[in-house]
Amino acid sequence: MSATPTEPRTIPVGPPTKHQLALMIWLAVFPTLTVLNLLLGSILSNFPMLLRTFILATIAVPIVIYGIMPHLHRARRALLVRRHTN
């Protein structure tokens, strides 16, 4: 079945390689932790290091997984589709 002009052509995009995924995770985690440290650093400064790390990770992981990674996956797909169609 061929694609009609009204149907967008779907280009299969596989999962990211481990290197692409590592870069995407870094792009999500580093800025998230930086912002959280800027916002919460003074509040958490008197907490023990392990508790500070636990609190920051507990806040950062959902932000990264549910907030940022879906956008990065869509951006990667758009880049690969654009590269494929050009």
pTM: 0.79
Question: Mean pLDDT throughout 28-35?
Answer: 98
Q: Is pLDDT of 3 > 90?
A: no
Residues 6+ away with beta carbon under 8 Å from 80: 11, 13
pLDDT tens column, 36-67: 999 999 999 999 999 999 999 999 999 999 99
For residue 50, count CB atoms less than 10 angstroms from its CB and return exposed for 0-12, middle for 13-18, buried for 19 or more: exposed
Confidence band of 17 (pLDDT split at 50, 70, 90): very high
Please give the pLDDT value at position 33: 97
